[in-house]
Structure 1
Amino acid sequence: MRLAAALWLLAAPAAALTMPLPATLTLSEDLPLTSYRFATGPYDDGLPAETVEGRLVREVHRMAAPGATPLQLLAPLRDQLEAEGWEIVFTCADRACGGFLFRFEIDVARAPEMFVDLSAYRYLSARRDGAWTSLVVSTSAGEGYVQRATVAPVDAAQPIVTSDARPAPTPDLTASSDVAATLAATGRAVLSDLAFETGSTTLPGTDYPSLAALADYLRANPEVTVALVGHTDAEGGAEGNMAISRRRADSARDLLTGPYGIDPARVETYGVGFFAPVAPNDTPEGRETNRRVEVVITSTP
């Protein structure tokens, strides 16, 4: 019986997982031969990891998940892996993983395909008969993101099965002129022309194409409400950055509800500091990218 079970596992495919909620495939890649690191412990002056060579298949799914936690999305996926015979090697949650440092040591697809909120993510790695797989799950602003990466040795008996879905076209989250299209497609958009220096919370002038486009969108959709969410780079402390990010969102709201004439009751503001970066903070370009204001649709049909 043990031999039969072992042979079954060798022949069984690394099946595509069933997402816990209706999801859109935002990224699908299949590399015939590469190396990929799978974390085996939390970040502590370095990342314990296993580097595996072979065929890499990676997919990212995005889903509407209002009120869901990363664990609620991860748990059914973990159960599926264990039912397929995968051995869980390591799993962790945001700060226990090592927070910011862990996030940027692992290989995660970049926004807008994948979004990792540093205060709300989970990681899991598992192995089976020479193959390794990992999950990165995060929730933010009512959406959930799941990245699965699987590497199987090129001579492995088990194939890797990918989902049948094709990635949806990805709108440009940083194009001011595409604010309306991006909001319609993803429910959020970066107002990229709202530029802030490190530590600054003020916006000079009133002429911002992204705010004009957002105002046009809100006038054309009077039932929609939004939140403006401020972000900072990682310089400075968490508490100060939370306050700065909120004031940045407030600055954008002042313009949107003042010169652009939008009803203040339709616009909330929040600040999340440096807990939701879209780029590494170890370069000036990355820090500039992270200092941003995003708009998120908060109304529901």
Structure 2
Amino acid sequence: MIRALPLVMIAMPAWAVEPVLPPDATETFTRVEALGSHRVATGPHDGTLPVEIAEGAVTRRVWRMAASDGTLAIMGPLRDALEADGWQVVFACEARGCGGFEFRFAINVTRAPEMFVDLADFRYLAARRGSEWVTALISRSGDAAYVQTTEVDPDAEVEEVTGSAPAAVAPVAALPQGEVATALREVGHAVLSDLEFETGSAALQGAEYESLAALAEWLADNPDATVALVGHTDAQGGAAGNLAISRRRAESARDLLIRRHGIASGRLETHGVGSFAPIAPNDTEAGREANRRVEAVVTSQD
């Protein structure tokens, strides 16, 4: 059974969508707007994101559960249940096929800690039934998976509800540097966890970085591969400043890979996503330190 949030407000509305989720799924967030709008992606991000703006009663819910079976194992039953209930899938994709970083930041996502999105491991679905829309977003963080559904019904009459349950989300464990190559090979991305940054700074704090050496060795062993370096920040400071700092963090790592390790510049792209993809809560120094990071994401590999 899915455990609902203990909201002490008003009676909850009847849901148009009740996702089929694993038995350990715990609902951590619910928001109902009597009149709102939602950006529904109807195709992949390719320079721009094709969207339909759905308006009406908007209901958003988020669940957390164990991630042992992966995101596809969660999305499959959810999609089957929607189609069995008369919903027509308009668009479905996985991380790279969705458009990667740009797609993630062009859609509506509940902020952490209720919802975490791994930029290299997420799935999205948009479905329509008459005038109603529903979208689903599934991702992972460490040993937990997260599911967000958003329903839009222009004909529904609902009472507004907002509530969340504290989510005890542990920081993702630091990846042993010897496992960088394994992570790139098996899951397509790795946190370069020995690249340390102070809040608000893009300057690297050490002289030698085992993770960059391991990444350079992997690139040498895979001469056709390309990698995106993605910079992140904690939640302190404004969004625009954090985006700029996160981009400079990725560029700092790229510069060292080129200068010290001889990696061709054309094999390394950089992105900055600010504080929008945390791997730990930002309410502790340990969590903020974990979120100030650079990740390597495999973008192509023949």
Q: Is the shorter-chain TM-score for this pair beyond 0.5, marking a shared fold?
A: yes
Partner of 1:107: 108
Partner of 2:35: 33
| Structure 2: gaps of 5 or more residues | 1-13, 174-196, 208-230, 234-245, 258-269, 278-286, 293-302
Partner of 2:204: 200
Return the TM-score normalized by structure 2: 0.56
User: Is the 2:247–2:273 contact (alpha carbons within 8 Å) kept by the matching residues of 1?
Assistant: no
Q: Matched residue of 2:96: which SS?
A: helix
User: Is the 2:135–2:151 contact (alpha carbons within 8 Å) kept by the matching residues of 1?
Assistant: yes
Q: How does 1:71-220 map to 2 (within 5 A)?
A: 71-154=72-155, 167-170=164-167, 185-188=168-171, 195=199, 197-202=201-206
Number of equivalenced pairs: 199
User: 1:107, 1:32 → 2: CA distance?
Assistant: 17
User: Is the 2:202–2:252 contact (alpha carbons within 8 Å) kept by the matching residues of 1?
Assistant: no
**Identity score, percent:** 40
Q: Matched residue of 1:186: which SS?
A: coil
| Structure 1: gaps of 5 or more residues | 1-11, 171-184, 204-229, 245-272, 281-289, 296-301
Partner of 1:46: 48
User: Is the 2:28–2:63 contact (alpha carbons within 8 Å) kept by the matching residues of 1?
Assistant: yes
User: 1:275, 1:70 → 2: CA distance?
Assistant: 24
1:5-47 CA deviation, whole Å, 9 max, x = no partner? Answer: xxxxxxx961321313412212100000011110000011211
One of 46, 51, 58 as aligned partner of 1:56? 58
Partner of 2:290: 293
Shift in CA distance, 129/13, structure 1 to aligned 2, threshold 3 Å? farther
Per-residue deviation, 1:237: 5.6
Shift in CA distance, 239/136, structure 1 to aligned 2, threshold 3 Å? farther
User: Is the 1:60–1:113 contact (alpha carbons within 8 Å) kept by the matching residues of 2?
Assistant: yes
Q: Which has the larger radius of gyration?
A: 1
The letter of the residue matching 2:117 is V
User: Is the 2:250–2:271 contact (alpha carbons within 8 Å) kept by the matching residues of 1?
Assistant: no
1:225-267 CA deviation, whole Å, 9 max, x = no partner? Answer: xxxxx956244769946x99xxxxxxxxxxxxxxxxxxxxxxx
User: 1:57, 1:90 → 2: CA distance?
Assistant: 20
Return the TM-score normalized by structure 1: 0.56
User: 2:77, 2:135 → 1: CA distance?
Assistant: 14
User: 2:32, 2:102 → 1: CA distance?
Assistant: 27
User: Is the 2:137–2:148 contact (alpha carbons within 8 Å) kept by the matching residues of 1?
Assistant: yes
User: 2:71, 2:131 → 1: CA distance?
Assistant: 28
Shift in CA distance, 104/146, structure 1 to aligned 2, threshold 3 Å? same
Per-residue deviation, 1:294: 5.2
User: 1:26, 1:19 → 2: CA distance?
Assistant: 14
Per-residue deviation, 1:187: 2.4
Partner of 1:259: none
User: 1:77, 1:236 → 2: CA distance?
Assistant: 38
Q: Give me the CA root mean square deviation.
A: 3.9
Partner of 2:20: 18
User: 2:63, 2:251 → 1: CA distance?
Assistant: 29
User: 1:77, 1:122 → 2: CA distance?
Assistant: 12
User: Is the 1:117–1:139 contact (alpha carbons within 8 Å) kept by the matching residues of 2?
Assistant: yes
